[in-house]
Amino acid sequence: MSWIKVASAAQIPTGHMMRVQVEDEDIALYHLDDGWYATSAICTHAYADLTTGRLQDALVTCPKHGGQFNVKSGAAVKLPCVVALVTYPAEVRGEDVFIDFE
């Protein structure tokens, strides 16, 4: 495990998301009512930054073709997306958000 600080919790209000970069990877952070989640930030169907899409409950909608992913599991749940996102454990420590990035 390699926990890395990626943001301040105050930067992402509940119900919002933000893209961060860890090493050379684009990661999407999601702040939901029940906690924090992190996935790869780029749609697996066609190159698009998911954080420029829409977040509703635990679903992120790709801005390019409207496919959707569950941010908790990474699962592709609406076509044209069929390949899951990579997920990363996320947690808040004090005022900072960390992800487990290996």
Residues 6+ apart with CB under 8 A from 17: 28, 29, 30, 31, 50, 51, 55, 60, 71
CATH number at residue 67: 2.102.10.10
pLDDT of 1 reads 65
Percent of the chain with pLDDT strictly greater than 90 = 94
**Full domain range(s) for residue 96:** 3-100
Q: What mean pLDDT value characterizes the chain?
A: 96
pTM given for the model: 0.93
pLDDT of 102 reads 79
Number of domains, the chain:
1
